[in-house]
Chain A
Amino acid sequence: MSAPAEPVLEVDGLVKHYPLTRGVLFKKQIGAVKAVDGVDFTLGRGETLGIVGESGCGKSTVAKLLCNLERPTAGAIRYKGEDITKLSGRALKAVRRNIQMVFQDPYTSLNPRMTVGDIIGEPYEIHPEAAPKGDRRRRVQELLDVVGLNPEYVNRYPHQFSGGQRQRIGIARGLALRPEVIVADEPVSALDVSVQAQVINLLDRLQSEFELSYVFIAHDLSIVRHISDRVGVMYLGRIVEIGRDAEIYDHPTHPYTQALLSAVPVPDPEAREHRERIILSGDVPSPTDIPSGCRFRTRCWKARERCALEVPQLAVPAEFRLATGPAAHDSACLFAEEKQVVPVDGAGPEAP
């Protein structure tokens, strides 16, 4: 139940604030959008870490930081022990090869004027050492085959493909440099249900074939459970609860996780009568103006005075510190309590 033996990525106190300024000539900082506000996690080799959260919780910013598309305000991201946030030039380029990204929207993340072959082969232009020039076309065709597309399609353009096929092209591009880590930001949310399953199965297969580690970012809790070994729940720039999938889904201890899980519609009409729903009031506060103490307290039904004064740390809560059950996992709540919100299923096929 402890962290996996060999971490590929270690994220430590990651912070990203975007300054808000006023004035044209004399810019004055009047505040900051605290998109990511202290995130820690580790990613083991061959592991999938799911990150869930609602819009504005900072999960996509985490993705950008991991791929070094943005520089963090503070904190460290260690790839095999080396802090990549401090790197630049050649050293940074070398690390980037190993951490690749798959984007959400296959309609805008592929250049419409480039052929599929050029799109998937572009990483080789940037990292010529990855494949000798004469070999590239063959590699691209191999990649197309790996993601389940006809290798003869290399000269087609993105508009000739459907959404699911485009996402496969995006995945092939992500694989081109044989990375160790793939950061996937909402990779299936733009796809139809019947096509979603195809892409998820593909990601599953590629993981074992290429020994990939995934950071899988999504808002759909069912999909995240399906694909992840561990799951972190984000709220307003922080992880509020993290643990193995059964710990989070069957034994959540943070009230936000409980509310989130109870709000997910379950595709079973029998469940609707005897399901308890926690309906949160209000909206997520603005990330420019984060509540004091526990950031969830403004929407929490359990909030007390202490919650406004004390920032809860992400650790095994005191109540469960001596326990060994699945409730003993990291949860940033001062009044953590185990609560089962997802009905334990008896009808579906038994998992072995």
Chain B
Amino acid sequence: MLLDVRDLHVEFRTRDGVARAVNGVSYSVDAGETLAVLGESGSGKSVTAQAVMGILDSPPGRITGGEILFQGQDLLTLKEEERRKVRGARMAMIFQDALSALNPVLSVGDQLGEMFEVHRGMSRKDARARAVELMDRVRIPGAAQRVRDYPHQFSGGMRQRIMIAMALALEPALIIADEPTTALDVTVQAQVMDLLAELQREYRMGLILITHDLGVVADVADRIAVMYAGRIVETAPVHDIYKAPAHPYTRGLLDSIPRLDQKGQELYAIKGLPPNLMHIPAGCAFHPRCPMARDECRTDEPPLHEVSAERGSACHFWRECLDERTR
């Protein structure tokens, strides 16, 4: 197992109270595997990733429990200095907005080269040569000339490629991509996702893809973890979940997206709003919005039930949910 997150808890202390952003998340990723973490804003999907990367804003953020085992080592016990050596070299992150993630006053060549100078102790000249190689690798046309350009001189798709190049520079074992294509147009999105998938196969990296887009997930993921109010509510191999979701939230999400291949009637809409993380409802956090909710959902928090060897669902009535779809 490459990465094994166990029972992670993260909270944010603010003036108005404590927001419990992550409440006992466990997931794992193997080498060469793609895990999609799906959720809406405020579901805790990005905060979990930030905790894994060790870039959580703290304060106000605080990890209050759990383990993050990476290549057998619990990252939460490491000193910041040791943690920094892991970050970038053994795990790397791709952000949504490349323009704000890249340094605007350094040329892309300098930013890419910096990785090799800092972590590998290369000379400036060698680092520059490696930067050009990398830019070629992510198919930036005219890499040798463009290495001196600044981030704003590239288009959105090209900037995202530079981010991918930076993440790949030291050939990490794990890549976390947080909404890597959300800011891009569809035709460019397809180019970038293809590139990412190809490089992942080649280097046999583990990939955690954080997204809200059920279409992107279906295209690239092996497994999927659906998050709601800081918990994983369903986890399954990607084929199973689209065929028959075992949690009413997942089912609601799948039913509420319009389809490209058919003109639908009225869309199914999940009623209500995602909960405020300072006042997460008792029992199952989804119960106020759930069409299947009963008395025990209001009082008992459902554990992640085992649906099959590879599947889990945090719903008391997962059997009914499955049946309804397969019937």
A contacts, CB < 8 Å to B: 54-55, 162, 164-165, 192-198, 200-201, 204, 219, 221-223, 225-227, 245-246, 249, 259-261, 263-272, 277, 279-281, 283-284, 342-345, 348, 351
Task: Give 23 pairs: A residue, B residue, CB < 8 Å, sorted on A.
Answer: A55-B156, A192-B40, A197-B267, A222-B260, A223-B258, A225-B260, A246-B263, A259-B187, A261-B260, A263-B190, A265-B213, A266-B219, A266-B260, A267-B254, A267-B259, A269-B238, A269-B242, A279-B190, A281-B191, A345-B259, A348-B259, A348-B261, A351-B263
List A contacts of B256 (CB < 8 A).
193-194, 196-197
- Closest Cβ neighbor of A195 among chain B residues: B273
* 10 further interface pairs, Cβ-Cβ under 8 Å (given A194-B256, A284-B185, A348-B259): A193-B257, A194-B253, A196-B256, A197-B270, A198-B269, A226-B264, A259-B187, A260-B186, A266-B219, A343-B261
Report whether B260 and A264 are in contact in the complex, using a CB–CB cutoff of 8 Å.
yes
Report whether B268 and A266 are in contact in the complex, using a CB–CB cutoff of 8 Å.
no
Give a binary string over B190-212; 1 marks a CB under 8 Å from any A CB, 0 the rest.
11011000000000000000001
- Chain B nearest CB from A160 CB (Å) reads 12
Which of the residues A196, A223, A264, A342 comes within 8 Å of B186, measured between beta carbons?
A: A264
B163 within 8 A of A: no
If A219-B185, A264-B186, A344-B261 touch, whether A272 touches B266 (CB-CB below 8 Å) is no
- Chain A nearest CB from B225 CB (Å) reads 15
Report whether A267 and B186 are in contact in the complex, using a CB–CB cutoff of 8 Å.
no
Main secondary structure on chain A at its contact with chain B?
A: helix
List A contacts of B194 (CB < 8 A).
279
- Chain B nearest CB from A66 CB (Å) reads 23
Report whether B261 and A267 are in contact in the complex, using a CB–CB cutoff of 8 Å.
no
Report whether A201 and B260 are in contact in the complex, using a CB–CB cutoff of 8 Å.
no
If A197-B270, A200-B258, A222-B260 touch, whether A192 touches B157 (CB-CB below 8 Å) is no
- Closest Cβ neighbor of A161 among chain B residues: B273
In the complex, A261→B190 CA distance in Å?
Answer: 11
Which of the residues B216, B218, B260 comes within 8 Å of A221, measured between beta carbons?
A: B260
Interface size on B, residues (CB 8 A): 48
- Closest Cβ neighbor of B190 among chain A residues: A263
| Most interface-central of B242, B254, B256, B265 (chain A CB within 10 A) | B256
List A contacts of B258 (CB < 8 A).
197, 200, 222-223, 225-227
List B contacts of A351 (CB < 8 A).
262-265
In the complex, A324→B274 CA distance in Å?
Answer: 49
- Chain A nearest CB from B18 CB (Å) reads 21
If A279-B190, A279-B194, A345-B262 touch, whether A271 touches B269 (CB-CB below 8 Å) is no
Report whether A345 and B242 are in contact in the complex, using a CB–CB cutoff of 8 Å.
no
Give a binary string over B216-257; 1 marks a CB under 8 Å from any A CB, 0 the rest.
111101000000000000000011001000000000111011
